[in-house]
Amino acid sequence: MKVNWKNFHVYSDIAKRQEIPVENPQEQVANAILQQGQGIAAYVLAEKVYKDDGETVYDEKEGRVIESLTTTLPAMWAVALRDVIKR
Protein backbone atom coordinates (compact mmCIF):
# COMPACT_ATOMS: atom_id res chain seq x y z
CA MET A 1 0.00 0.00 0.00
CA LYS A 2 1.17 3.53 -0.76
CA VAL A 3 0.10 6.73 0.94
CA ASN A 4 0.80 10.14 -0.57
CA TRP A 5 0.48 12.69 2.22
CA LYS A 6 0.90 15.58 -0.23
CA ASN A 7 -2.59 14.75 -1.58
CA PHE A 8 -4.24 14.75 1.86
CA HIS A 9 -7.22 17.13 1.83
CA VAL A 10 -9.88 17.51 4.52
CA TYR A 11 -13.15 19.01 3.34
CA SER A 12 -15.83 20.59 5.51
CA ASP A 13 -18.29 20.40 2.64
CA ILE A 14 -17.84 17.54 0.19
CA ALA A 15 -20.25 18.91 -2.41
CA LYS A 16 -18.62 22.34 -2.55
CA ARG A 17 -15.11 20.96 -1.92
CA GLN A 18 -14.44 23.51 0.80
CA GLU A 19 -11.07 22.50 2.14
CA ILE A 20 -10.01 22.83 5.75
CA PRO A 21 -6.32 23.72 5.97
CA VAL A 22 -4.29 20.93 7.57
CA GLU A 23 -0.69 21.84 8.19
CA ASN A 24 0.79 18.41 8.91
CA PRO A 25 -1.60 15.48 8.39
CA GLN A 26 1.16 12.98 9.10
CA GLU A 27 1.50 14.32 12.65
CA GLN A 28 -2.24 13.97 13.25
CA VAL A 29 -2.33 10.41 11.88
CA ALA A 30 0.84 9.46 13.78
CA ASN A 31 -0.76 10.68 17.01
CA ALA A 32 -3.88 8.63 16.26
CA ILE A 33 -1.71 5.54 15.74
CA LEU A 34 0.00 6.12 19.08
CA GLN A 35 -3.31 6.64 20.88
CA GLN A 36 -4.93 3.53 19.44
CA GLY A 37 -1.94 1.26 18.95
CA GLN A 38 -0.14 -1.06 21.27
CA GLY A 39 3.52 -1.71 21.79
CA ILE A 40 6.66 -0.78 19.99
CA ALA A 41 5.22 -1.60 16.56
CA ALA A 42 2.69 1.22 16.94
CA TYR A 43 5.44 3.59 17.97
CA VAL A 44 7.66 2.64 15.01
CA LEU A 45 4.78 3.03 12.54
CA ALA A 46 3.76 6.36 14.09
CA GLU A 47 7.32 7.60 13.70
CA LYS A 48 7.45 6.40 10.08
CA VAL A 49 4.21 8.23 9.28
CA TYR A 50 5.34 11.36 11.12
CA LYS A 51 8.65 11.52 9.22
CA ASP A 52 7.06 10.71 5.86
CA ASP A 53 7.37 13.40 3.22
CA GLY A 54 5.39 12.46 0.15
CA GLU A 55 4.50 9.03 -1.16
CA THR A 56 5.63 6.11 0.96
CA VAL A 57 5.11 2.37 0.71
CA TYR A 58 3.72 0.65 3.79
CA ASP A 59 3.78 -3.12 4.20
CA GLU A 60 0.60 -5.14 4.68
CA LYS A 61 0.64 -4.99 8.49
CA GLU A 62 1.30 -1.24 8.52
CA GLY A 63 -1.43 -0.76 5.91
CA ARG A 64 -3.98 -2.57 8.08
CA VAL A 65 -3.19 -0.30 11.02
CA ILE A 66 -3.49 2.84 8.88
CA GLU A 67 -6.71 1.66 7.25
CA SER A 68 -8.19 0.78 10.65
CA LEU A 69 -8.02 4.47 11.54
CA THR A 70 -10.80 5.16 9.03
CA THR A 71 -13.23 3.53 11.48
CA THR A 72 -12.15 5.67 14.44
CA LEU A 73 -11.21 9.08 13.04
CA PRO A 74 -13.80 11.80 12.52
CA ALA A 75 -15.58 11.26 9.20
CA MET A 76 -13.87 14.18 7.42
CA TRP A 77 -10.45 12.78 8.34
CA ALA A 78 -11.44 9.20 7.51
CA VAL A 79 -12.52 10.23 4.01
CA ALA A 80 -9.29 12.20 3.49
CA LEU A 81 -7.21 9.25 4.65
CA ARG A 82 -9.11 6.79 2.47
CA ASP A 83 -8.56 9.10 -0.52
CA VAL A 84 -4.74 9.10 -0.19
CA ILE A 85 -4.37 5.33 0.14
CA LYS A 86 -3.26 3.64 -3.07
CA ARG A 87 -3.16 -0.10 -3.62
**C-beta atoms surrounding 66 within 10 Å:** 20
Structural domains counted in the chain: 1
Per-residue pLDDT of the chain (87 residues), as tens digits, is 999 998 899 998 877 778 898 888 999 999 999 999 889 999 999 999 999 988 899 999 999 999 999 999 999 999 999 999 987
pTM for the predicted model, two decimal places = 0.85
Tell me if 68 sits within 8 A of 85, measured CB to CB: no
Q: Which domain holds residue 71?
A: 2-86
84, 5 Cβ separation under 8 angstroms:
yes
